[in-house]
A and B are shown apart, each in its own frame.
Chain A
């Protein structure tokens, strides 16, 4: 795709600017496939997986949806270049995308039949060797009214409230120990009341919880991004829930919930219950 077309649609003064600014800058379309796995197995609703977590339990998916934003390509020289996500009215809006690995098979009864396994955008033509992004919804879009927000930010099943914002991940599955389902809901927590005179939103959240994912060797022609639940839950016991009052079965990002400590470590996020500071995230890798 050539930049000329992008410039041509702008209003007159901007056409001049555009002609100067991007007239000779060619752009290319980039589509990056994402794949969900549980260890070495492809993820699919309706399947069951064995050997998951510290108890090697059997895990049966109930949901798997993830928001991401702030998508950047990395040049050979290590420079970051923004990947402008293409707005499609369904999965991508204002630089934020929803990945949806769950159809309606098996226990995945809560979400949509439709899935979305890639991101699509444009970037200046060039040679890129890496991809970086953040999980979650950016702060500027995180406190919208879900009922009127543009897709994919209009799904009430991926929304906590105005104050707390969206569920950045909705990953759920049942195990023999937790037959009602283990949940992994990532999102911003400890969000303050709205500022004076405002009735919705927040004055700010103490824990943003937006993991940075840096995949510094991804081949844009042949590569893909893999989200591995086996890796995400490697340190977690999915058969039991920590016996702490007022915390979730699994992890809903609460600082008070010990179940969050290990899974936050795998996401490269700090958590009150961690013994040591976390390293880089290990949930997502390039292949």
Chain B
């Protein structure tokens, strides 16, 4: 701890020096990515460059319950760091008690996601995504729908917070606004990068011993044509819908995994039919975005509706060639992805795959103080 404290002092000194020198035209201190090996630089919108001050402000706001109208919830209420920024519920409950229909998604490596939320090809920036929980009315999340001014005035009335906005947005005519709020929250979320799991040490750190023999067997199965997992959970982020700085044109893949087939024709429950809701295209029935599998072992329950409690359940769904298949006389949904066609796994092989998925858990990320609640008081030791 002493060592860490010393580091902070050192950092502070550098910051002070920077401020003292006051390089003309130097602008705010840019955010220093500390990207894991093998990770590309995230794409950052031109109108929201990453700065340290903005990231710090975003972190503070992310954990601030004043962002809900009744002061009961912050972003972190449904996105807990220890759960890779999910909430452990099948579906979340908003600040006014409304139960949502879709599972809280993790935020690890969300900077690389082509589109945000479960099935929205039009929602492609974290900045615009911020508006959904803040102002959405169906469902109500944080509850400021049609009350933007109330939110802005609330934040502005806190002088200390307003001056943080001022530091983060020195050129803004109005430092505290919805525009700056969404940019700061987006900037913080872009820093939530997870890339130091056992798998990363193995694959990118070239440490052949970083994964157990069982995890390596599971990895073989994960990447095999028999299981086909990596068709949708591909690349460094185990997610096909991935974008970064060097991506010329992002792809927007959505998949029907045969989870439901209500009418034998592939229909999903009317409550949540997936992508078709926004596109109106018949073939988009039941299509959702594949999530990243990083830290997946701590993000239960699973699927867009949180309908599966464990990763074992999820594996059984894919092994069956779609959860809905047995209930339709063994027939696959006509709309489901060709990659979901079923496979057989021995009990040992299943354990191996689960062990590999555990190797994607990045404990450093789950406890990284840079991503933690800045308002938290030192934690009581519950074991005493």
- Nearest CB of B to A178, in Å: 8
Contact check, B251 vs A180: say whether CB atoms are below 8 A apart: no
- Judged by a CB distance under 8 angstroms, whether B336 is at the interface is yes
Contact check, B249 vs A180: say whether CB atoms are below 8 A apart: no
Stretch binding the partner chain, chosen from A18-26, A140-148, A208-216, A231-239: A140-148
- Judged by a CB distance under 8 angstroms, whether A181 is at the interface is yes
- Judged by a CB distance under 8 angstroms, whether B130 is at the interface is no
- Judged by a CB distance under 8 angstroms, whether B12 is at the interface is no
- Judged by a CB distance under 8 angstroms, whether B82 is at the interface is no
Which chain A residues lie closer than 8 Å to B124 at the CB level?
none
Contact check, B338 vs A248: say whether CB atoms are below 8 A apart: yes
Residue of B with least CB distance to A252: B225
Chain A 139-181 residues near chain B, CB threshold 8 A: 145-148, 151, 154-157, 159-164, 172, 178-181
- Contact A181-B249, Cβ < 8 Å, known A147-B39, A161-B223: no
A151, B315: Cα distance in complex, Å: 33
- Judged by a CB distance under 8 angstroms, whether B159 is at the interface is no
Stretch binding the partner chain, chosen from B144-152, B231-239, B366-374: B231-239
**In the complex, which of the residues A107, A110, A151, A246 has the most CB atoms of chain B within 10 Å of its own CB atom?**
A246
- Judged by a CB distance under 8 angstroms, whether B49 is at the interface is no
- Contact A199-B203, Cβ < 8 Å, known A113-B249, A180-B332, A245-B344: yes
- Judged by a CB distance under 8 angstroms, whether A183 is at the interface is yes
Contact check, B38 vs A148: say whether CB atoms are below 8 A apart: yes
- Contact A151-B242, Cβ < 8 Å, known A183-B338, A199-B208: no
- Judged by a CB distance under 8 angstroms, whether A47 is at the interface is no
Which chain B residues lie closer than 8 Å to A198 at the CB level?
206, 208
- Judged by a CB distance under 8 angstroms, whether B327 is at the interface is no
Interface string of B321-359 (1 = CB under 8 A from A): 000000000001111111001011000000000000000
A12, B334: Cα distance in complex, Å: 64
**Interface residues on chain A, number (Cβ under 8 Å):** 43
Interface string of A184-198 (1 = CB under 8 A from B): 000001000100011
- Judged by a CB distance under 8 angstroms, whether A277 is at the interface is no
Interface string of A103-138 (1 = CB under 8 A from B): 000010111111000000000000000000000000
- Judged by a CB distance under 8 angstroms, whether A61 is at the interface is no
- Judged by a CB distance under 8 angstroms, whether B313 is at the interface is no
A146, B240: Cα distance in complex, Å: 11
- Nearest CB of B to A103, in Å: 11
- Judged by a CB distance under 8 angstroms, whether A250 is at the interface is yes
- Judged by a CB distance under 8 angstroms, whether B253 is at the interface is yes
Contact check, B208 vs A154: say whether CB atoms are below 8 A apart: no
Contact check, A112 vs B251: say whether CB atoms are below 8 A apart: yes
* Interface bracket on B: 35 or more
**In the complex, which of the residues A148, A151, A254 has the most CB atoms of chain B within 10 Å of its own CB atom?**
A148
- Contact A145-B341, Cβ < 8 Å, known A154-B247, A179-B335: no
Contact check, A111 vs B335: say whether CB atoms are below 8 A apart: no
A197, B208: Cα distance in complex, Å: 6
Which chain B residues lie closer than 8 Å to A90 at the CB level?
248
Residue of B with least CB distance to A257: B225
Contact check, B253 vs A157: say whether CB atoms are below 8 A apart: yes
- Contact A147-B202, Cβ < 8 Å, known A156-B234, A161-B230, A250-B338: no
- Judged by a CB distance under 8 angstroms, whether B309 is at the interface is no
- Judged by a CB distance under 8 angstroms, whether A200 is at the interface is yes
- Nearest CB of A to B204, in Å: 8
- Judged by a CB distance under 8 angstroms, whether A99 is at the interface is no
- Judged by a CB distance under 8 angstroms, whether B272 is at the interface is no
A182, B337: Cα distance in complex, Å: 10
Residue of A with least CB distance to B227: A246
- Judged by a CB distance under 8 angstroms, whether B32 is at the interface is no
- Judged by a CB distance under 8 angstroms, whether A36 is at the interface is no
A197, B202: Cα distance in complex, Å: 11
A113, B121: Cα distance in complex, Å: 14
- Nearest CB of A to B291, in Å: 14
- Judged by a CB distance under 8 angstroms, whether B252 is at the interface is yes
- Judged by a CB distance under 8 angstroms, whether A97 is at the interface is no
- Judged by a CB distance under 8 angstroms, whether B138 is at the interface is no
A131, B333: Cα distance in complex, Å: 44
Partner of A147, one of B38, B253, B343: B38
- Judged by a CB distance under 8 angstroms, whether B10 is at the interface is no
Contact check, B246 vs A146: say whether CB atoms are below 8 A apart: no
A107, B284: Cα distance in complex, Å: 10
Contact check, B244 vs A147: say whether CB atoms are below 8 A apart: yes
Which chain B residues lie closer than 8 Å to A7 at the CB level?
none
- Judged by a CB distance under 8 angstroms, whether B174 is at the interface is no
A90, B242: Cα distance in complex, Å: 17
Interface string of B207-250 (1 = CB under 8 A from A): 11000000000001001011000110011110010101011110
- Contact A147-B236, Cβ < 8 Å, known A161-B230, A180-B335, A180-B336: yes
A111, B252: Cα distance in complex, Å: 7
- Judged by a CB distance under 8 angstroms, whether A249 is at the interface is yes
Contact check, B206 vs A199: say whether CB atoms are below 8 A apart: yes
Contact check, B203 vs A159: say whether CB atoms are below 8 A apart: no
A-B contact pairs, 10 of them (CB 8 A): A112-B248, A145-B236, A151-B248, A172-B338, A180-B335, A199-B202, A199-B207, A245-B344, A249-B338, A250-B338
Q: Give A residues with C-beta under 8 Å from B.
A: 90, 107, 109-114, 145-148, 151, 154-157, 159-164, 172, 178-183, 189, 193, 197-200, 245-246, 248-250, 252, 254
Closest 4 CB pairs of A and B: A147-B236, A156-B235, A249-B338, A112-B249
7 further A-B contacts with Cβ under 8 Å, apart from A146-B235, A157-B240, A189-B225, are A147-B244, A156-B234, A162-B223, A163-B223, A164-B225, A179-B334, A199-B203
